[in-house]
């Protein structure tokens, strides 16, 4: 077996991304790692993406080979921004060995990076060591930690997500990162299971105002139905409906800060969707807004005429914990 060649990462692509007030060319990389240590969230299929049964040395070797694939196949010269995900926590030593951490930092020396890690894997010594290798002074904030808080409500996070972190821990982590001159990109999850359309909307509005003081960037992920998850089981039984695109637009509109949002599986039964007719135009609008932060665009999206708007209004007002979901 070839143990030296490059391995294609789970996914990688280049595009444009908004970082605070700038739109930058970016490279997004999703590496296969040792896998998420928590491995419990009800809607997450990424946790199944892992090198199962591999020891630390093995993992390290497999991950380094993915890095060399990127080195060879992607031109990162032109992208000042590198976003890196591992379907878990980059700063979890069990998931990403130290030598891989170091290799990433030196490979992307001088770049601005967004790296995802669970709040419980944000060991500040490990992060500062990473930043020391990465940073060459080009960027005011060389590293943004992408923290999946999902909601500021501990009650919802425990029941509807089973994430195992607290808002309190998030706040402490965010403060610590800021103290070290690093940035925080917070992830919210719009409409986990067991919430009505309105409860999910209210949760986002509350969460956004709760986390805004701790975040340079907020990304809102509308929940989608991923394979081999508890949410998929509920969805198949008729007990989960992803959010309406109308709700997403309403949150984007009502939120004071700009929100990043790229609805996964948008317009499909498994993803956030409306009636099917108005979905493409609204999805384009939501993705444009994420990049341009153009409030006028949001206003025009809210004006889009579709027969399903009345249905959505009805669901927002009348879906209750005891009669949900009202629609599919």
Of 155, 213, 227, 303, the one binding another protein by CB under 8 A: 155
Q: Is 325 in the site for another protein (CB under 8 A)?
A: yes
Cβ burial 77-104 (10 Å sphere, 16+ → b, else e) = eebbbbbbbbbbbbbbbebbbeebbebb
Say which residues have a Cβ less than 8 Å from residue 8's Cβ, sequence separation at least 6: 66, 69
CB 62 within 8 A of CB 55: no
Q: Decide: is 40 part of the binding site for another protein (CB under 8 A).
A: no
Is residue 195 at the binding interface for another protein, with CB under 8 A as the rule?
A: yes
Mark residues 105-144: x for contact with another protein by CB under 8 A, - for none: ----------------------------------------
> Which pairing describes strands 22-30 and 11-19: parallel, antiparallel, or unpaired?
antiparallel
In the bound complex, what is the minimum distance in angstroms from residue 43's beta carbon to another protein? 15
Cα gap 193→259, rounded to integer Å = 22
Between 125 and 155, name the residue whose CB sits nearer to another protein: 155
Q: How many CB atoms sit inside 10 A of residue 164's CB? A: 14
Q: Contact region for another protein (CB under 8 A) — 12-20, 106-114, 188-196, 215-223?
A: 188-196
**Closer CB to another protein, residue 284 or residue 317?**
317
Q: Which of 99, 154, 199, 288 binds another protein (CB under 8 A)?
A: 199
Q: Distance (Å, rounded) from C-alpha 122 to C-alpha 89?
A: 9
The interface with another protein within residues 274-313 (CB under 8 A) comprises 307, 310-311, 313
Cα dihedral 267→22→85→128 (10° resolution) = -160
- Binding-site ranges for another protein (CB under 8 A): 155-156, 159, 194-196, 199, 233-234, 237-239, 307, 310-311, 313-315, 318, 320-327
């Amino acid at each position: 077996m070839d143990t030296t060649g490059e391995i294609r990462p789970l996914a990688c692509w280049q595009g444009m991304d908004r970082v605070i007030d700038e739109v930058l060319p970016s490279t997004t990389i999703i590496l296969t790692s040792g896998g998420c240590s928590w491995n419990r969230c009800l809607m997450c299929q990424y946790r199944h993406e892992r090198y199962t049964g591999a020891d630390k040395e093995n993992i390290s070797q497999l991950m380094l080979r993915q890095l060399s694939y990127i080195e060879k196949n992607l031109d990162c010269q032109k992208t000042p921004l590198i976003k890196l995900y591992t379907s878990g926590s980059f700063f979890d030593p069990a998931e990403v060995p130290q030598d891989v951490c170091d290799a990433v930092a030196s490979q992307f020396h001088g770049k601005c990076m967004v790296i995802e890690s669970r709040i419980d894997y944000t060991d500040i010594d490990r992060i500062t060591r990473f930043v020391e290798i990465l940073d060459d002074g080009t960027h005011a904030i060389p590293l943004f930690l992408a923290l999946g808080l999902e909601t500021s409500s501990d009650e919802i996070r425990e029941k509807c997500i089973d994430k195992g972190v607290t808002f309190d821990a998030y706040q402490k982590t965010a403060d610590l990162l800021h103290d070290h001159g690093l940035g925080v990109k917070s992830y919210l999850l719009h409409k986990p299971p067991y919430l009505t359309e309105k409860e999910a909307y209210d949760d986002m509005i509350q969460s956004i105002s709760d986390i805004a003081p701790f975040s340079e960037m907020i990304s809102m992920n509308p929940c989608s139905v991923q394979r081999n998850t508890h949410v998929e089981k509920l969805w198949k039984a008729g007990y989960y409906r992803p959010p309406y695109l109308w709700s997403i637009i309403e949150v984007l509109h009502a939120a004071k800060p700009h929100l990043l949002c790229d609805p996964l599986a948008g317009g499909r039964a498994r993803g956030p969707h409306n009636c099917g007719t108005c979905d493409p135009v609204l999805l384009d609008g939501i993705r444009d807004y994420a990049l341009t932060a153009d409030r006028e665009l949001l206003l025009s999206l809210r004006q889009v005429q579709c027969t399903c708007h009345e249905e959505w209004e009805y669901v927002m007002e009348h879906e209750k914990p005891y009669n949900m979901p009202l629609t599919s």
